[in-house]
Structure 1
Amino acid sequence: MIDYRSLNRFPGTRKDHDRVVRTICQECSVGCGLLAYVKEARIVDVQGDEDHPISRGRLCAKGMAFVQGLENPDRITRPATREGPHDQFKVLDDWEKALDLLAEDLRKINGKYGPRSLIIACDPEAGLDYYIGAMRFAKLWDTPFVFHLMRSPGDLSIPPGVKIRTRPCSDWVNSQCLFLVEADLATTHPVAFSWVLDAQSRGTKIIAADTRFTATMSKADMAVRIRPETGNVLGLALMKMMLEEDLHDSAFLEEAFADPGQWKASFETMSLNGFEKTTNLTLEKVKALSGLMGNKSPVTLITGKRLANRLNYSIWLTMAMAMGWINVSGGGWYPLDSGVPRITQNADIQDRDSLVVSFEEEGDPNGLLKELAVIAQDPESPVKAIICSGNCLNDFLTPIRNIVKGMDLVLYFGSFPNATWDFSHMVFPATLWAERNGLCFSNDRAIQWSEKIIDPVDGCRSGLDFWMGLARRFGDVKHLQWEPYFPWKKEDGLTDHVAFYNWLLDQSPDTAGCDVDRLRGSGDGSKLVFWPFHEGTADRAKIKPTHAPAAIEPLIQEQEEEKSYPLCFQATRIISRSGDSSRWWPWTQELELENAVQINPETAQVLGIENGDEVLVSGAEGKMEGRAWISRMVPRWMVWSPGHLGERRVLVHKRGQTSEEAIHILGEFFNDTRTGNREG
């Protein structure tokens, strides 16, 4: 990565412009400062804000290219409807009439099947206002099925009174060691990664653990490969070994943990017999990792968002506290894409105190998904409608795509055609982030106001406008008081976004007392506002740390599938997000082909697969076709694709080759190569 700070940049722009808008880029959750130059309602140039403390004038390629999404000819700008997924869309010129049609369809479904007939899915790209609007509408409709990625389950283990702070990425230069787990910052958050390189240049050790050999791993002092979905298992093993070596902070542990003796005992008795098969990582390598980290205090743990919805995610908070790394300069836990504070979004309509967060009511973050998995297998399922933002059905809702095909109504709220759009009966065009005011909660808990750059394309509206319009129609038909659910209506019927965000800030004990005027007053962003905004005088409390399981064993389901499906499978995005705009940039389509299937050269050789060959990837429940991308970025025992399949284990073979032949070849291949090198 080039260090541009030593170069003399031309200040401002040479492009003719009417005004300059200082705002925050929302292409990821880093929160970089951005200057947009506007001429006659069009953005003519974009530059990084030199005065912004997070980005220091830098913008990544995504931040520079967001304008391409605004003016893309394939962008959806009008509501549309059709009878079925194979029919042509009929464009509707009137947004209000389109909402009338939607409300009538939903009224019929509700009357016939009841309130549990509706699922709502929230892709983060639609914005915080879409998510809050969805949660409020779900309460009005009385459906429990709202799925989203706006919450960090690890934070749920922090009770009121415990003051734990995520330190800003600029503090990483004070770390002795940075440990990145399934967090490819160099690719997904390159501006934040510049702080990693700064720290490394000052002597900080960089350790990276991931499934593919990523750009971040290429810069690390120590890199290890693990199997998909086993990052938290690695955390458990590291904690056990650091306790065995007496590397933990006993004094801090006694002060911060509830029943520390019982917690330590759980790790003493935890068996690691199945660890190597589960993670494909040797215990010797883990011991080397634990020794390096334990003797390099303070350490900052940086975890990717894929870990957040897996079992034992809070082991990273537990580890940071047990080792004494928390709340000290250069140490702590930095969970990516988890900067949104805990918000009691329905307290006012439930007549509760919005500043008192009930952690017990959150329950299992995967509970609804588990319930939905059961519904998906029930032929008498009452679920008949789904409202999706972004590309949910090709991302975190992949497991339910089979039941979506039989639904009476599939609605897509978004900006570009995608896999979710393919399923839809109705489409409503969404504003993009540059066309709406909003709050930006960055990874390090900075609260920033993102100023709208230009007005929305005619026909596009915000998520909150969509939900408020639908709530009014549903409430009128059902004779329900809908106004208390959406009290931010302006005279023109649209949302007062400033009033909404002021309300939102008051719905969390971490942000109460802050307001939009305060955030706007921070001017050039050189003085960031962080949450918790007000420290208060809360009594100290002790957390319930993550206890170790009795043993680490491979999933029974995976063991049963291993013979028929000998390869691990991972589906992630490299360059773009799973949502809308960034997937339509011409250069991301070149870098991240949707049907690419990455295969290790040795695995490809024994299967007779060459680069670009048509291949079939199949699992127990689904299959996909793609083009082979031969690369050592993946180990021999894994294949990768940006296209979601909803499978943990798969079989891959080229077109014309039988499954039985491929299974036999891979069985012999892995028997021959299964030596001591599990990471190969």
Structure 2
Amino acid sequence: MVQYEPLKRVSGTRQDFDRQVATVCQECTVGCGLTAYVKDEGIVDLQGREDHPISKGRLCPKGSAFVQGLAHSQRITIPAYRNTLTRGFESATSWEQALDQLAERLRRLKDKHGAESLIIGCDPEAGLDFYLGARRFARLWGTPHVYHPWEETEQATRLAQELPVSPSSEWIESRCLLLVDADLAVTHPVAFGRVLKAQGNGAKLIVADSRYTASMSKADLAVPIRPGSGNLLGLYLLKQLLDEGLEHKDAIEAGFEQADNWQASFDRMVWDGVENHTHVTREDVLNISRFISSKHPVTVITGKRLAHSPDFGIWRTLAAAMGWIGHPGGGWYPMDAGLPRVHPDTDIEEPPPENFSPRLAPFPYQNRSGSNEELLFQGLIGSGNCLDDFFLPVRRQSPKMELIVHFGAFPNETCQQAHMVFSAAAWAERDGLCWSIDRALQWAPRILPPADASHSGLGFWAGLAQRLGWDEFFPWIRKDGRADRFEFYRWLLKRDPQTASCDLSQLRDNQDLFFWTDKTEFPEAGETPQFYTQNGRIKPVDAPELPTAEDSDIDDGEYPLYFQSTRIVTRGGDAGNWWPWTAELEDVDAIQIHPDTAGVLGIENGDAVVVNSPKGCLEGRAWISRMVDRRMVWSPRRLEGDHVLLLKKGQSADEALNLLKENTP
């Protein structure tokens, strides 16, 4: 019989190379270490760093494939401009000349429409410093309209920062892991490796999701839930635990404000409608609650979607009430909530409101106003493919804008609508600060110099600010015109108690990790407070008397289906569309449909289909699969709106709607 031996990783590389660079992958927020081997200023090989405390030598498909885009023939490497969208782009003579032109066009825009007519969208691929520089520039300019997808996790970060720091490497110590609307196997594969290792050590894995995911395929207990009901599941779980007296009474007494009132709210909460609201039966809730109460400690991991729904703090409340927090392998980890408090603009006084325009309604994601007025922006500076991703509400009016600026590395839908294009350095071409899902900070050295006339995000904003007379507010420019990102981040970290003790030189020179937490002293809390709050206690989430599902009206009206969009494993963002190695692994145009729904509408695998929402539409090819609920449609591409109507291409909306109403799937 043939004896098979496990494959051993070959250390180093067999490729010829001039130098090697140990750095940090920035395709997601896990923070994996990698070694790049470079020859003639090109990457000839990559390998995960075995000695890295987070990844232990692992790299996911995104971390292995990013190199494909660096030398892609379609990459943007020099700035370009055009006066109207009907004309082609002309290359700028230099980066400096393009910034001169942009500064002049911005002055005219401000004189004509006011400071708040400018909105800024910051795609993660442009780097953290593009967002931080944008906030600083916007403060000087006088517009509050700056948005980054990381702001979606602001509530999660605020709730999590009051908890003790627990590295995600401790997940392997857990006896049970509960994942809710978090498909780590796809979005953060290396982090999911820790989940599997814990499972291999005997831990149980429970996954609750509205779609059958890769993570769910590995679960000991898979729990299908109604779309949008994740936080409701947390409320019902906690009620069941309290009803049975399975909570950690000492942890509640020591760590909760007004614990009696909080517990009374769950006594008043009724069970009516639990199955309708969550698609989980009362018996299922009972089984899950007994499952997690019999294991200690338990790690709860929640996805970003939950942060947008009411009662998101229930997961922190659950973990604290059960006494899981503060124990290795226990606690709550909201995904992508590891960014510390940053203050890139608070040293700048608010500009006078001389150019304020009462016609402008703040961008809705900012939650600065309850206004429902039509957005009236005249200028946009956006990185990546923001207009086809998180800036969908702005895309509808972009054809009427007088100035759209694209800062990116690849041509895309946003670039096609732009008047000016600025070439962005890829993350492998810029050094900078990285943050991880468990609040670890790292310094990532660049692998290659920037391509041609490409610059970092900080360099873009600093160069623009100089031309507007704001040199003193952006002092991090070297004599060669490049931004000194190290000095910028050192200045930034010193501005908050959470990160003030971080020695950035040590992170850079020794490749250490720094786990940030709130270093403020709370005298009332004693020497070892359970939580980082003034009195060492947290405010728990009270239970509503009659919970309701977020999508309770999904059966009504012209859009009877629920739409969900998530990332796929081979695409970290816009740059992933330019990776030929991974192009055939997953179809970005696939639209996943349940067989029953497809049957009602006469749709077969591969058919051209259209997904309509009140504010947009999405076209693609049908992927018929039981991975989705009967009333759900899924795509890796974004669409504005959660409620949709699905139809076969060529089918009328009325026909599709009538079929769905007459044959409720």
TM-score by length of 1: 0.89
Question: 1:504 aligned to 2:492?
Answer: yes
Gap runs ≥5 in structure 2: 351-361, 526-534
Aligned to 2:629: 635
Aligned to 2:663: 669
Corresponding residue pairs, total: 640
CA deviation string 1:143-198 (max 9, x = no partner) = 111111234334565599x5x23422221121111011111111121111111111
Provide the C-alpha distance between the structure 1 equivalents of 2:482 and 2:203, rounded to a whole number of angstroms: 51
Aligned to 1:458: 452
Q: Verify the 8 A CA contact 1:242 1:248 in the aligned structure 2.
A: yes
Q: Verify the 8 A CA contact 1:154 1:317 in the aligned structure 2.
A: no
Provide the C-alpha distance between the structure 2 equivalents of 1:654 and 1:211, rounded to a whole number of angstroms: 24
Write the letter of the residue equivalent to 2:298: V
Deviates more, 1:569-578 or 1:97-106: 569-578
Write the letter of the residue equivalent to 1:289: I
Provide the C-alpha distance between the structure 2 equivalents of 1:543 and 1:453, rounded to a whole number of angstroms: 43
Write the letter of the residue equivalent to 1:393: L
Aligned to 1:118: 118
Report the 3-state secondary structure (helix = DSSP H, G, I; strand = E; otherwise coil) of the residue aligned with 1:243: helix
Question: 1:408 aligned to 2:402?
Answer: yes
Aligned to 2:529: none
Distance of aligned partners of 1:171 and 1:669 in 2 relative to their CA distance in 1, 3 Å threshold: same
Write the letter of the residue equivalent to 1:520: R
Report the 3-state secondary structure (helix = DSSP H, G, I; strand = E; otherwise coil) of the residue aligned with 1:349: coil
Provide the C-alpha distance between the structure 2 equivalents of 1:630 and 1:368, rounded to a whole number of angstroms: 33
Question: 1:393 aligned to 2:387?
Answer: yes
Quick one: percent identity of the two aligned structures?
51
CA deviation string 1:505-543 (max 9, x = no partner) = 2122121122321112334x5xx3322396867652222
Aligned to 2:22: 22
Question: 1:486 aligned to 2:474?
Answer: yes
Provide the C-alpha distance between the structure 2 equivalents of 1:85 and 1:288, rounded to a whole number of angstroms: 59
Provide the C-alpha distance between the structure 2 equivalents of 1:171 and 1:369, rounded to a whole number of angstroms: 35
Provide the C-alpha distance between the structure 1 equivalents of 2:85 and 2:286, rounded to a whole number of angstroms: 53
Q: How does 1:594-613 map to 2 (within 5 A)?
A: 594-613=588-607
CA deviation string 1:483-508 (max 9, x = no partner) = 34222222233211111111122122
Matching residue within 562, 567, 579 for 2:573: 579
Aligned to 2:189: 190
Q: How does 1:530-541 map to 2 (within 5 A)?
A: 530-532=515-517, 539-540=524-525, 541=535
Deviates more, 1:387-396 or 1:150-159: 150-159
Q: Verify the 8 A CA contact 1:615 1:626 in the aligned structure 2.
A: yes
Distance of aligned partners of 1:112 and 1:273 in 2 relative to their CA distance in 1, 3 Å threshold: farther
TM-score by length of 2: 0.91
Q: Verify the 8 A CA contact 1:592 1:642 in the aligned structure 2.
A: no
Report the 3-state secondary structure (helix = DSSP H, G, I; strand = E; otherwise coil) of the residue aligned with 2:583: helix
Shift of 1:69: 1.4
Aligned to 2:219: 220
Aligned to 1:342: 341
CA deviation string 1:251-270 (max 9, x = no partner) = 21122222112222223223
Matching residue within 506, 522, 539 for 2:510: 522
Provide the C-alpha distance between the structure 1 equivalents of 2:337 and 2:660, rounded to a whole number of angstroms: 39
Q: Verify the 8 A CA contact 1:157 1:543 in the aligned structure 2.
A: no
Matching residue within 535, 543, 546 for 2:541: 546
Q: How does 1:588-599 map to 2 (within 5 A)?
A: 588-599=582-593
CA deviation string 1:29-88 (max 9, x = no partner) = 111110111112111110011111211111111111111011111111111223444542
Provide the C-alpha distance between the structure 2 equivalents of 1:368 and 1:457, rounded to a whole number of angstroms: 34
Q: How does 1:308-327 map to 2 (within 5 A)?
A: 308-327=307-326
Provide the C-alpha distance between the structure 2 equivalents of 1:367 and 1:668, rounded to a whole number of angstroms: 36
Report the 3-state secondary structure (helix = DSSP H, G, I; strand = E; otherwise coil) of the residue aligned with 2:254: helix
Aligned to 1:650: 644
Deviates more, 1:128-137 or 1:262-271: 262-271
Shift of 1:239: 2.0
Shift of 1:310: 3.1
Shift of 1:141: 0.7
Distance of aligned partners of 1:390 and 1:312 in 2 relative to their CA distance in 1, 3 Å threshold: farther
Provide the C-alpha distance between the structure 1 equivalents of 2:209 and 2:555, rounded to a whole number of angstroms: 23
Aligned to 1:46: 46
Q: How does 1:156-175 map to 2 (within 5 A)?
A: 157-158=158-159, 162=162, 164-175=163-174
Provide the C-alpha distance between the structure 2 equivalents of 1:437 and 1:5, rounded to a whole number of angstroms: 40
Distance of aligned partners of 1:555 and 1:20 in 2 relative to their CA distance in 1, 3 Å threshold: closer
Write the letter of the residue equivalent to 1:530: F
Matching residue within 399, 424, 429 for 1:430: 424
Gap runs ≥5 in structure 1: 352-364, 477-481, 674-680
Aligned to 2:289: 290
Deviates more, 1:451-460 or 1:599-608: 599-608
Q: How does 1:89-238 map to 2 (within 5 A)?
A: 89-151=89-151, 152-155=153-156, 157-158=158-159, 162=162, 164-238=163-237
Shift of 1:449: 0.9
Question: 1:256 aligned to 2:255?
Answer: yes
Distance of aligned partners of 1:582 and 1:5 in 2 relative to their CA distance in 1, 3 Å threshold: farther
Provide the C-alpha distance between the structure 2 equivalents of 1:21 and 1:443, rounded to a whole number of angstroms: 24
Shift of 1:199: 0.6
Q: CA RMSD in A?
A: 2.5
Report the 3-state secondary structure (helix = DSSP H, G, I; strand = E; otherwise coil) of the residue aligned with 2:99: helix
Write the letter of the residue equivalent to 1:544: K
Provide the C-alpha distance between the structure 1 equivalents of 2:125 and 2:5, rounded to a whole number of angstroms: 31
Q: Verify the 8 A CA contact 2:145 2:363 in the aligned structure 1.
A: no
Provide the C-alpha distance between the structure 2 equivalents of 1:30 and 1:5, rounded to a whole number of angstroms: 31
Report the 3-state secondary structure (helix = DSSP H, G, I; strand = E; otherwise coil) of the residue aligned with 1:68: helix
Q: Verify the 8 A CA contact 1:145 1:368 in the aligned structure 2.
A: no
Matching residue within 553, 562, 570 for 1:568: 562
CA deviation string 1:362-404 (max 9, x = no partner) = xxx99654458946x42xx542111111222222222232122
Report the 3-state secondary structure (helix = DSSP H, G, I; strand = E; otherwise coil) of the residue aligned with 2:510: coil
Q: Verify the 8 A CA contact 2:409 2:423 in the aligned structure 1.
A: yes
Write the letter of the residue equivalent to 1:262: N
Shift of 1:98: 1.0
Distance of aligned partners of 1:260 and 1:45 in 2 relative to their CA distance in 1, 3 Å threshold: same
Aligned to 1:677: none
Q: Verify the 8 A CA contact 2:27 2:572 in the aligned structure 1.
A: no
Q: Verify the 8 A CA contact 1:247 1:295 in the aligned structure 2.
A: no
Shift of 1:134: 0.7
Deviates more, 1:451-460 or 1:73-82: 73-82
Provide the C-alpha distance between the structure 1 equivalents of 2:271 and 2:660, rounded to a whole number of angstroms: 27
Provide the C-alpha distance between the structure 2 equivalents of 1:397 and 1:266, rounded to a whole number of angstroms: 39
Q: Verify the 8 A CA contact 2:80 2:421 in the aligned structure 1.
A: yes
Q: Verify the 8 A CA contact 1:597 1:639 in the aligned structure 2.
A: yes
Report the 3-state secondary structure (helix = DSSP H, G, I; strand = E; otherwise coil) of the residue aligned with 2:66: helix
Aligned to 1:360: none
